[in-house]
Amino acid sequence: MHDANASRATETSVPLTGSAVLVNAVGLHARPSVKLTQCAKGFAAKIELALVADGPWTDAKSPVKVMRVKAPQGATLHFRVTGSDGEAALAAMLALVHDGFGEV
C-alpha cells in the first residue's frame, strides 16, 4: 500500500515517536493487526512500527508486514510517524494499543 501523498507531505518533517505496551493476550496477531492497519490507513501520515526504538521499522499500513513482526504480548511497540496529520495518527495508534485493540 503505497501512499504517495504521505511521502510528499512529509519530506521535511521531523518524525514523531511514541511507544506503548501490547496488553492483549495474544499480541499483535490476526485481528489486532487488521485493526491497526485499518486505523493507520485512515491517516495520510507515514506510520511505522518497531519492537525496538531504533528499528528496523515496519510499514504500519501493511497487514502482511505487521504480521511478520510477530509482536507478542508484553512487547513494547514503538511508533514513528511523519506527515501533516502525524500527531493525530500517533495518538490514535497509541490509544489502540493501550486499549488492547478494544478487546481486552
Partner 1 sequence: MTEIHLTGRAASPGLAIGPVAVLTAAVARRTATGDPAREAAALKAAIEAATAELSELIATVRGEVADILEFQVAMLGDDALTEGAYDAISAGIAADHAWRSALDAEIAGYRSAEDEYFRARAADLVDIRDRVLAHLSGAATVANITGGSIIAGDDISPSMFLAADWTRGGAIALAAGSPSSHVAMLARARGAPMVVGLGPLSWNGRPPALALVDGDAGTVIFDPEPETQRLFEHRMAAANAARVAADAGRTEPACTADGRRIAVLINVAAPEELIGLDPAICDGIGLVRTEFLFETSHGLPDEDTQYAVYRRILEWTKERPVTIRTLDAGGDKPIAGLTAESESNPFLGLRGIRLSLARPEVFRVQLRALLRAAVHGPLKVMLPMIAIPSEFDRAAVMLDAEFNALQAEGIACARPPLGIMVEVPAAALRAEYFGAAFYSIGSNDLTQYTMAAARDIGSVADLNDTGDPAVLALIARTVEVGRKRGVEVSLCGDAAAETRLTTALLATGLTTLSVSPIAVARLKAAIAGFRS
Residue ranges that bind partner 1, judged by CB under 8 A: 1-2, 23-27, 29-34, 37-38, 59, 62-65, 67-68, 70, 72-73, 100, 103-104
CA distances from 97 to 33, 77, 84 (A): 11, 8, 22
Shortest gap between Cβ of 5 and partner 1 (angstroms)?
16
User: Any residues with CB less than 8 A from the CB of 85 and at least 6 apart, and which?
Assistant: 43, 44, 45
CB atoms within 10 A of CB 97: 24
Shortest gap between Cβ of 72 and partner 1 (angstroms)?
6
Structure-block grid coordinates of residue 7: 511521502
User: Residue 8 or residue 31: which is nearer to partner 1 going by CB?
Assistant: 31
Per the listing, cell 511514541 goes with: 18
Question: Does residue 2 carry a catalytic annotation?
Answer: no
Shortest gap between Cβ of 104 and partner 1 (angstroms)?
5
Catalytic residues: 29
